Chains A and B, each alone.
Chain A
Amino acid sequence: MRLSSKTTTLLALAALIALAPLFFPSSYYFRVGSLIFVNGLAVTGLVVLTGYAGQISLGHAGFVGIGAYACALAPVHLGLNPIAAAVVGAALSGGIAWLVGRPILRLKGYYLAVASLGFGALVSMVLANEAQVTGGPDGMTVPDPGLRALLKSAGLDLSNSAFWYAFSGIVLVIGAWLALNLYHSPTGRALRALHGSEVAARTVGVDVAGFKLRAFVISAFYASLSGSLLALQNKFITPDVAGYMHSIELVTMTVLGGAGSVLGAICGAMILTTLPQVLTVFQEYEQVMLGLVMMLVMIFMRDGLLPSLSRKIRGRGK
């Protein structure tokens, strides 16, 4: 039996996540791994928005911030379990994306990029300035959802970092599964069509503004859940998650790996999450490094790392 490319991708991803811990020298690597998955999730959302639909957002960290702070605030103010709070945060992000996106996405061109930049700045400003509610720049603690304790009582005792590695890994695989389903579906086809030619998409009946909005809302869900996961595993959150730099990081990861491919973009997330951990130069000069990566990709591999490499390998096979 020949496996579809979707199944192969998902199997490869799941196997990588499941087997990588065998090679972890210390529990610190679980921590890096779960950070990769958290970023991978947000980046998968950007694959839908940028890779499928061809729209660029420079403010998705705003949704990451909403998802993160939902997990900190909703348990305190609404008495929700932090997991339920993540769902509420995603719904809120989706709602805001819909409201913000509706007027913007009717316009053509780069309005989304510019407007989303403003949106991200707005969210991080609110988070930093509303100190009574959000703790301001000092950040907030995030309550434990009690999942690990639940597993322990069921007989599965995982260390904190191993638990969050597994949990975010599973969420990422589900996120990738949904995004890959979408790619081959009628909706995914409409998104890719409007990416290819808006005028042709319109003449075959695609409501271009409506489909861009769908992609924007979906990607906001992903970003929000990524923020929630980050808050839950760090148990602490600061307004930086919503900041401009984080938006740029996410876009660079997407572009580096290959915006059109879920697996590629997750590879991008892996590279750019790991580099600052192993190279201190990267950490110190992050802005310069991200700019450099972006330029190199644009010059040498317009389609991103993974698609370019696989084309090269296939080309040699012929």
Chain B
Amino acid sequence: MSLLQIEGLGIDFGGLRAVHDVSFSLGAGEIVSVIGPNGAGKTTLFNMISGVYRPEHGRVRLAGEDVTGIEPHLLARRGLSRTFQNLQIFQAMTVLENAIAGHHLHEKGPVLADLLSLPSSRRRAAEAEASARMLLDRVGLGRAEAQEAGSLSYGALKRLEIARALALKPRVLLLDEPAAGCNAVETEEIDRLIAEVAAEGVAILLVEHDMKMVMRISNHIVVLDHGEKIAEGAPAKVSRDPRVIEAYLGPQVRETADAHG
């Protein structure tokens, strides 16, 4: 059974049909990419799945349970976690604390214990800290842990968001343009990281403009244009779909594709 099921999801902003009747599903260990031109509705789709927006139409099911419109923090408890296209970092905290903050559900406890700094509170925090250090190492930010997060480069912040999202030990992970603004080396690292996480059984939904990366790591691709799903399938199939080439890659690329075809 698929872990995440999207059924006829839709939302309008004023007169604009930002997303309309989109359906697909995602299984454990799978990497599904959502692609489409700017403004196609990819981020809006993510916002609906992660509970930031309440969808106007359709259903979201997580492991069979209907979670449509449930608040993000409750979805986090059910194992859904995400990163943001426009970075949402806790700027005033250190890199390490950002990663620890991702462990909120593991480290939270009674406020009174925290106020009094009881051993139980310190133990929870210490466990979260140890795990945060491992995650930072994993995304290559181990050396930067003491820095204020606001001082990191864009690419480093993208990786910090991934570390923070992984801290939840999610079953489903939504990544909105994780490689945007990263150089080739960083992109490759993120690429490898995503594949590794998927290999551990996490279902990954990816939005990414770097087509080489998408084609390389996706099991399945969903193509959006003007809020609607215009195609889906295996990378090889989608990349040859004329509607996709038309809508997403533009007429020029179509010509080159024809030339190569």
Contact = CB atoms under 8 A, between A and B. Distances in A.
Interface in B114-129: 114-117, 121, 124-125, 128
B52 A199 contact: yes
A146 interface: no
Contact of B104 (A182, A184, A205): A205
B167 interface: yes
B165 to A, nearest CB: 8
A235 interface: no
B115 A181 contact: yes
B104 A178 contact: no
B93 A193 contact: yes
A11 B104 CA distance: 30
Contacts of A202: 51-52, 71-73, 76
Nearest to A183: B114
A187 interface: yes
Nearest to A6: B117
Range of interface residues on A (Cβ < 8 Å): 20 to 34
Given A189-B100, A204-B164, A204-B167, A184 B125 contact: yes
Interface stretch (A118-126, A206-214, A242-250, A270-278): A206-214
A187 B111 contact: yes
Interface string A185-219: 11111101101110111111111100000100010
A178 B116 contact: yes
Nearest to A215: B111
B7 interface: no
Contacts of A187: 108, 111, 114-115
Q: Which of B75, B101, B125, B128 has the most CB of A within 10 A?
A: B101
Contacts of A182: 114-115
A195 B72 contact: no
A197 B88 contact: yes
Interface residues of B, number: 40
A270 B116 CA distance: 26
Interface in B73-130: 73, 75-77, 81-82, 84, 88-93, 97, 100-102, 104-105, 107-109, 111, 114-117, 121, 124-125, 128
Q: Which of A181, A196, A207, A260 has the most CB of B within 10 A?
A: A196
Contact of A199 (B84, B102, B114): B84
Given A195-B92, A196-B89, A199-B72, A204 B117 contact: no
Interface of A: 178, 181-182, 184-190, 192-193, 195-197, 199-208, 214, 218, 260
Interface of B: 50-52, 71-73, 75-77, 81-82, 84, 88-93, 97, 100-102, 104-105, 107-109, 111, 114-117, 121, 124-125, 128, 164-165, 167-168
17 contacts: A181-B114, A182-B114, A185-B125, A187-B115, A189-B107, A192-B92, A196-B91, A196-B92, A197-B90, A199-B52, A199-B84, A201-B90, A203-B73, A204-B81, A205-B77, A205-B104, A260-B92
Given A189-B107, A204-B167, 10 more contacts: A178-B115, A186-B108, A186-B124, A190-B108, A192-B101, A193-B90, A199-B52, A203-B72, A203-B82, A218-B115
| CB-based closest 6 A-B pairs | A196-B90, A185-B114, A205-B76, A200-B88, A202-B72, A181-B117
